[in-house]
Amino acid sequence: MTGKNPQPGKPAPAAGQPQKKAPLPMGTWIALGVIAIAVVVAIFMSQPRKAPAADPGWAAKQEQALAERKAAGWEEIERGLLWRRVKGDGSGRHPLPSDTVTIHYEGKLVDGTVFDSTQGGKPASFPLGGLIEAWQLALPKAGIGDTIEIAVPPALGYGDRGGGPIPGGAVLLFKIELLSIE
């Protein structure tokens, strides 16, 4: 040691003794905790959500939801995607995949569970080309001011993997009001 005291007001350690390191500041511990939580959440959200295997009739209920709508006259766009117009006449401007759409929507599972909605809140704006394939196929059928309903087979939604509150293999039911196009 050269005689300099690295911590004023405390005696310098004797020559040859290791110096104590200062504890990490509280802000560092908080930041490390936030990072750890973010990593755990990211791992959890990236895990596939399997179809509810405990209910052997679950997959049949998914198929039944599509069959009932098809029997009720919903139009098939392609690959099992069903749609119908519930408000409007289709005369407004229709979006292209390169457009950004502003919409009100509600998404449900076939058991009626709402997994996402803008109803009662601010509308949402999305680039149409960045949405699930079913929306990219169905929204161009709607004109500004129209409200449509779509029944989405798993392959055109979140597939067998699912995501967030949506289990893998789920048929999705959406009601979408097209407000504007940019």
Containing 137, the helix (H) or strand (E) segment is: helix 133-138
Q: Which of 148, 150, 166, 174 is catalytic?
A: 174
Q: Is 89 a catalytic residue?
A: no
Q: Is 181 a catalytic residue?
A: no
Q: Which of 158, 166, 176, 181 is catalytic?
A: 158
Q: Which of 77, 99, 115, 160 is catalytic?
A: 115
Q: Which of 99, 132, 144, 160 is catalytic?
A: 132
Q: Evaluate whether 146 touches 103 at the Cβ level (below 8 Å).
A: no
Q: Which of 105, 146, 148, 166 is catalytic?
A: 105
Q: Is 44 a catalytic residue?
A: no
Q: Evaluate whether 81 touches 69 at the Cβ level (below 8 Å).
A: no
What percent of the chain is helix, strand and coil (3-state, nearest 5)? Answer: 25, 25, 50
Q: Is 174 a catalytic residue?
A: yes
Q: Which of 99, 116, 126, 144 is catalytic?
A: 116
Tokens of 142: 């709607």
Task: Give catalytic residue positions.
Answer: 105, 115-116, 132, 158, 174
